[in-house]
Amino acid sequence: MNEHTKQPNQPGDAFPISHTVIVVGALATNCWLYPLTEPGPYEQDRGCAVIDPGADPDAIIARMKRLRLYPQYILLTHGHFDHVAALPRLVSHCTRPGKALEIGIHHADASFLGPDAYTVHRTAFCAVAGNSAYVDALWESMPSPTKLLDEGDRIGPFTVLHLPGHSPGSMGLYDAERKLLFSGDTLFKQGIGRTDLPGGDWDALQKSLERLFALEGAIRVYPGHGPETTIAAERRQV
Ligand SMILES: [Zn+2]
């Protein structure tokens, strides 16, 4: 399991903040911990957003504990199992009396969560792997979302960019203040998302990529797998 801490802000930024990636599971998914406030003068837990808890809940929980973070939001760039498998354990472990925990996913991927989600995940994995062993090995009953998101919605520091193609409800989480984007499996460093899973749509993916490439080149991009990049660097790849 790889781990490192990003320092996304430049010296002089108004609001220095760091976020951390934990690479989880057999498919090496990037699970991001995104603190929502600066460290205070006193040792106290800071709220954070957890983005794509794809596996290894114990590792995610341990890292939050070490960094003195607690989740205010669990946000899913899309519903594929390698991005959500740790959700059940995180929710059961991190729900605290008096502290709201928002679980957000785009409404078009909502079927990946909730009591009927097993069949959806099983079908998706069988379509590409020929069996559902990956899902079955990690399966725990999926909580339902508390917030169904759509284009332009604000959640925490993020604006939702609906980026269908890899899945119907794929979304980018864009922090305009810090000029960074969590791109899920839509855009990678030197790569784009696959469209051969149920609900994948090549033409929709192309439109979503065109939209991303029209954004400011300096925006830093943190994908669902692999290293970070920028809009400008990926624009040059196409
Ligand atoms: Zn995916």
Q: Is residue 52 part of a domain?
A: yes
Query: Which pair of tokens denotes residue 222?
Result: 């943190």
Q: Is residue 79 part of a domain?
A: yes
Distances (CA, A) of 228 to 29, 53, 191, 205, 235: 13, 18, 11, 20, 14
Number of domains the chain is built from: 1
- pLDDT score of 238: 60
Q: Are 76 and 104 in contact (CB under 8 A)?
A: yes
Measured in Å, residue 16 CA sits from the centre of ligand 1 at 30
Measured in Å, residue 108 CA sits from the centre of ligand 1 at 14
Q: Is residue 210 part of a domain?
A: no
Measured in Å, residue 42 CA sits from the centre of ligand 1 at 39
- Tens-level pLDDT at each residue, the chain (238 residues): 334 444 444 433 444 468 899 999 999 999 999 999 877 766 678 899 999 999 999 999 999 999 989 999 999 999 999 999 999 999 999 887 777 899 999 999 999 999 999 999 999 999 989 999 999 999 999 999 999 999 999 999 999 999 999 999 999 999 999 999 999 999 999 999 999 999 999 999 999 999 999 999 999 999 999 999 999 999 976 6
CA–CA separation, 183 and 220 (whole Å): 10
Residue 12's CATH number: 3.60.15.10
- pLDDT score of 21: 94
Q: Is residue 141 part of a domain?
A: yes
Q: Is residue 91 part of a domain?
A: yes
Phi (first) and psi of residue 17, to 5 degrees? -155, 150
| Structural domain boundaries, residue 124 | 3-174
Q: Is residue 111 part of a domain?
A: yes
Q: Is residue 77 part of a domain?
A: yes
Q: Is residue 193 part of a domain?
A: no
Ion ligand 1: residues, CB within 5 A, are 80, 185
Query: Which pair of tokens denotes residue 190?
Result: 């030197």
- pLDDT score of 17: 62
Report which residue type is found at 48: C
Measured in Å, residue 82 CA sits from the centre of ligand 1 at 7
Beta carbons within 8 Å of 203's beta carbon, 6+ residues apart: 165
Q: Is the pTM of this model over 0.75?
A: yes
